[in-house]
Structure 1
Amino acid sequence: MIISSKIIINRPVKEVWDFFNNPDNMHLWLTGFKRFEQISGEFGKVGAKARHIYEERGKLLEMVEEITGREEYKKISLILSHKSMESTIETDFEDLNHERTSLICLVNVKFKSVFFKLFGKMMLGSMQKRQDKDFNTLKTVIESR
């Protein structure tokens, strides 16, 4: 299943990149985000792994992020894994006239459990809405700084 979002942020690409890739900012725009814990590797580098903790419906949810590609100020690729699913995420940053940034995110979700394989397609709409909401929040937060 593919989820995609695109948004234009009225800030330079370096500012958007730096804010987006700073784990101290994640709670400001990601729904339910609680904390980030580096597990291995050098922060922000290809091969680095980190734990993301979210709160979903009163329960803590743990996901593991592995950075699989990085081109500074242009693209970051990662895999975000959970026991029931794995998401391959590609986020592209495009400089628009040095004052605006196009942010495009493609998420390929693969479900692992039988339950999610059966019902995952019904969840696609809510997953898309959540990603769009998070990106709109990201835009609002960055532009208000």
Structure 2
Amino acid sequence: MEYTLDIEIKLPRNQVIEKFDNEENLKYWQKGFIGMEHLSGQKGKTGAISKLTYKMGKREIEMIETITFLDLPEALHLTFDAKNVYNIQENYFEELSNGNTKWTSKNEFKFSGFMKFMGFIMPSAFKKQSYSYMQDFKSFAEEGKSVLNN
């Protein structure tokens, strides 16, 4: 399953990247984020591998994040490997003529096991979740709103 989403953020690209590329900020715009543990590679660089932990409902979900391409402020590509779900994500940040930033996120999901069924019957749920994260980042970046207060 593949889809592309974009959102305009009313900030210059350098300010967007400063907020986006700071792991301390994840808790403010990613609902359910518990923590991030660096596992290998040079932290924050191509090839770095980290374990991310989220609380989703009553369950804790762990996933392995790998930075596959890093060319900030233009692009950041990642993979996320969780139980029965593999996500390839390409993020692009474009400076707009009005001084704002367009964030485009290209996603590809590959499923196995039970998640093959979920991906088949509920593909819109994945797209909706991705866009929700983008909207929450926009609110955090522009207005300082945190998902921790929700």
Write the deviation string for residues 36-67 of structure 1: whole angstroms up to 9, x where unpaired: 11111111111000111000111111000011
Matches within 5 A, 1:36-115: 36-97=36-97, 99-113=99-113, 115=114
Structure 2 stretches of 5 or more lacking a match? 145-150
**Partners of 1:37 and 1:50 within 8 A in 2:** yes
Structure 2 length as normaliser, TM-score? Answer: 0.91
Moved over 3 A (4+): none
Q: CA deviation at 1:34?
A: 1.0
How many residue pairs align between the two structures? Answer: 144
Q: Quick one: distance in 1 between partners of 2:16 and 2:98? A: 11
**Partners of 1:7 and 1:104 within 8 A in 2:** yes
- RMSD across aligned positions (CA): 1.3
- Percent identity of the aligned residues? 28
Q: Quick one: distance in 2 between partners of 1:40 and 1:33? A: 20
Quote the residue 1:123 is aligned against: 122
- 3-state SS, counterpart of residue 5 of structure 1: strand
Q: Pick closer, same or farther for the CA change 1:15–1:82 going to 2, 3 Å.
A: same
Could you tell me which amino acid in structure 2 is paired with residue 24 of structure 1? E
Structure 1 length as normaliser, TM-score? Answer: 0.94
Q: Quick one: distance in 2 between partners of 1:24 and 1:40? A: 19
